[in-house]
Amino acid sequence: MELTASLPGLRFPLDVSGGVSRFRNRRGIVERVVIEVPRPALEQWAAPRLRGLLGVATPKVMLFVRRSGVTVGVVSAEDGRALAFEVELDTTGDDLGLSVHDARGIGLQGPATPLAVRALHAVAGDAADREGARFAFPRVVSRLTRLVFPERGARAPDAGGLVWSAARGHDDAWLLVAQRGENPQEPASPSVVARESCALARLADDAAFALDLEKARGLLVEALERAPRHRELSRRLAEIDHALGARAAGRAEAALATLRDASAADGLLSAELLREVLDVTGAVAAFTQAGEAEPVGPLAALAYDAAARLTSDEHDALELLDRAIARAPALPGPRWTRLATRLAVGRIADARADAEHLDALASGARARHAVWMRAGLTFRAEGRLADAAELFERALRYGPRDASATAGLGAALLSAGKLARGTALLREAITLADAERVQAWGMHVDLANALAEQLGDKPAAIARVRTIPAHAAEALVARGLEGRWRSALGDLAGASVAFARARELAETRLAELTDASRKESLAVLLEAARFERDAKGDWLAAQRHLGCAVRLAPHDPAAASEFREAGRKVAGVAELAHATDAPPPPESEMTFSGDGDALREMLGAAPDEAEDHARVEALTRKLHADPTDDRVIDELATRLLRLGRTHELYALLSSRFEGADEGRRAALLPTLREALTRLEADAKAAGREDEAALFRETREGLG
């Protein structure tokens, strides 16, 4: 800063024998002030003051000097969020003003303009008077002289009458010049327009700053009546509609119409709204155009990343991601997207190179562990099992006792066919997670999958997934797996109950499911519907599952097609029943002809055991016809216990025990306890201590 002041009333020759101290108490007059604000210093100073604006960490602040103002970028790389806005500078006498406009961003939790106002408010502090989205800095030179001169032991000079003769961006800094007797600087056109926009939207911006978006919306509508089709007012109204719920009550379409009427249907807000209304082609084009026009590199990269995620052509996606990484090489989000896309097209070495770059970008052992864990999961999801195992091993270098990395390595080894080591690592991971009090239900699902699909022990797998509580994120998939395995064991009634529970979980969690969870849930519901249709011939139950699937994924062609088919079948059965007014004939039971000795000889078993086996088959078929017949269930349980078919007995009783009334539970409890006791003993004899403990805990939990 350069400051020139004069001391009026002095006459020459001037006696300076007393030194400078003779003049300390004389009040001078400021003649000229030059303030230079370098961009790098301002970025560094502002960043800690914006902590918490977009995420927990301190964001990166980027400033781009313009002649009449500055473009501001605030980026939270860890959260994949970025905010950008324009600030225009205007002057009046000794006053400075800053006006916020054209705010935009990706990943924001609210409208962009109030966030931009909060950002500038956090930086300006008490030095500025805020009115809506405009910040006024009154009597700047006077306030500076009161700070600077007394600190150096001199009286503050008179700064009255100064005017800002120059206030502009220059090279990599802003230059502000105030001079006495000069003409004030002529305002730039963008500054005039931005100041007028802030004046029109002042009340609405104050309401939005106070988080009253409904009030802000009403005030913006009133302002648009006075200034119809105003571009900036329309943009602020559209962003509020988007934040209030673009999917509800046609607000996305209304917001798009507002932008189009004001010729403002360009940029990131328009792209977000097009994505909301499922105009994928338009959204891809809008995100791409926004990325090309955006001066803030990380925000441009996120726009390209969003376009790449929407496009169905993987090669177009890779081109967009290359652009994204070129604009912001240190931003992890687009590089993760490119890693997954490269894997999908078979460019394994290039995907590994992206993982290496992400490792280089990470700082500290914990961050690098997270990189290799995520990379391992991505490779595993694409079926690159050997690579995934290697990546999980690298994660373990940074966290040797990490349960997640151990489980990931175990699951990858199991998928690669290394059953012994994979199972051992999964058990170790569950032990580590229990010791650290970390949720390990996903590890239980992986271990159950290995038991059922690779080791052929479906009953033990059922027992393991049944321990996963309904509140766990993995509960829906666990119930679906239980239904699949019960069906394979011939327990159709138990499978039907398990699939029904999976559907109930999908219905209760419909609004909170992530994209990945929706995909998993859709697969479970389709499998449940096909089970009810093919294994049981129950089109009504299939229709219930498919109805939930359609609500979950309304644009999935398989779900829609099967739902329509189920509707036609259910309607056809209803019409037939109405026409005949007669119940369908009961399912016939299979009977055995010939004498008992021949049957026993054919079965190769002792007389009583052979009868039990034959009777179990007949009872199972009767149970399929009527799953609620308690007499059939009791006799079947007795014979299964006598035959030592303990896993089937447990599968039979456990599904019915939970939904039974108190009296029925008391009747089933002794047999269920006996089944769990035998399962525990068998697991101990085979050296499977974890399974034995699982059965023991389940038995003790019965009371």
pLDDT band of residue 150 (cuts 50, 70, 90) is low
The rounded distance, in Å, linking the Cα atoms of 163 and 183 is 7
Least confident range of 84-93, 187-196, 416-425? 416-425
Residue 585's H or E segment, with its range, is none
3-state secondary structure of 176: strand
pLDDT at 229 over 70: yes
pLDDT tens digits, one per residue of 665-696: 888 888 888 888 888 888 787 777 766 776 78
3-state secondary structure of 426: helix
DSSP 507-534: HHTGGG--HHHHHHHHHHHHHHHHHHHH
Spatial CA neighbour of 373 closest among 429, 328, 322 = 429
Judge if the upstream peptide bond of residue 13 is cis by omega within 30 degrees of 0: yes
One-letter amino acid of 589: E
362-468 and 607-701: identical CATH topology = yes
Task: Answer yes or no: are the C-beta atoms of 5 and 32 closer than 8 Å.
Answer: no
Percentage of the residues of the chain whose pLDDT score is greater than 70: 83
Q: How many helices (H) and strands (E) does the chain have?
A: 31, 10
Spatial CA neighbour of 57 closest among 85, 41, 80, 40 = 80
Instruction: Name which CATH class applies to 362-468.
Output: mainly alpha
pLDDT for the residue numbered 250: 64
Q: How many CB atoms lie within 10 A of CB 696?
A: 16
Pairing of strands 134-137, 173-180: unpaired
Helix/strand/coil (H, E, C) string of 14-77? CCCCCCHHHHCCCCCEEEEEEEEEEHHHHHHHHHHHHCCCCCCCCCEEEEEECCCEEEEEEEEC
pLDDT tens digits, one per residue of 423-463: 777 777 777 766 667 667 777 777 777 778 777 888 888 98
Task: Answer yes or no: are the C-beta atoms of 231 and 263 closer than 8 Å.
Answer: yes
3-state secondary structure of 154: coil
Residue 673 is encoded by which pair of tokens?
Answer: 């306890």
As a dihedral over the C-alpha atoms of residue 592, residue 594, residue 596, residue 598, rounded to 10 degrees, the angle is -110
Instruction: Tell which wins on pLDDT, 359 or 147.
Output: 359
Alpha helices in 490-594 (DSSP H): 492-508, 515-534, 539-552, 557-580
Burial of 234 (0-12, 13-18, 19+ CB in 10 A): buried
Q: What angle do CA 33, 35, 39 make, to 5 degrees?
A: 175
pLDDT band of residue 416 (cuts 50, 70, 90) is low
Q: How many CB atoms lie within 10 A of CB 302?
A: 29
pLDDT for the residue numbered 216: 95
pLDDT tens digits, one per residue of 284-315: 999 999 999 999 999 999 999 999 999 989 99
pLDDT band of residue 184 (cuts 50, 70, 90) is confident
Pairing of strands 29-38, 173-180: antiparallel
Residue in the block written with tokens 């395995």: 485
The rounded distance, in Å, linking the Cα atoms of 689 and 585 is 50
Start-to-end Cα distance in the chain: 80
Determine what percent of the chain falls in helix, strand and coil, rounding each to the nearest 5: 65, 10, 25
Burial of 437 (0-12, 13-18, 19+ CB in 10 A): exposed
3-state secondary structure of 155: coil
Residue 164's H or E segment, with its range, is strand 162-170
pLDDT band of residue 494 (cuts 50, 70, 90) is confident
pLDDT tens digits, one per residue of 266-288: 789 999 999 888 889 999 999 99
The rounded distance, in Å, linking the Cα atoms of 162 and 140 is 10
Task: Answer yes or no: are the C-beta atoms of 103 and 110 closer than 8 Å.
Answer: no
Residue 11's H or E segment, with its range, is none
Task: Answer yes or no: are the C-beta atoms of 139 and 73 closer than 8 Å.
Answer: no
CATH of domain 607-701: 1.25.40
The rounded distance, in Å, linking the Cα atoms of 535 and 542 is 11
pLDDT for the residue numbered 156: 67
Residue 149 vs residues 43, 158, 160, 671: alpha-carbon distances, Å: 27, 11, 16, 92
pTM of the predicted model, to two decimals? 0.66
Spatial CA neighbour of 126 closest among 112, 137, 113 = 137
The rounded distance, in Å, linking the Cα atoms of 323 and 510 is 35
The domain segmentation of the chain, as residue ranges, is 2-190, 362-468, 469-580, 607-701
Residue 606 is encoded by which pair of tokens?
Answer: 């002792």
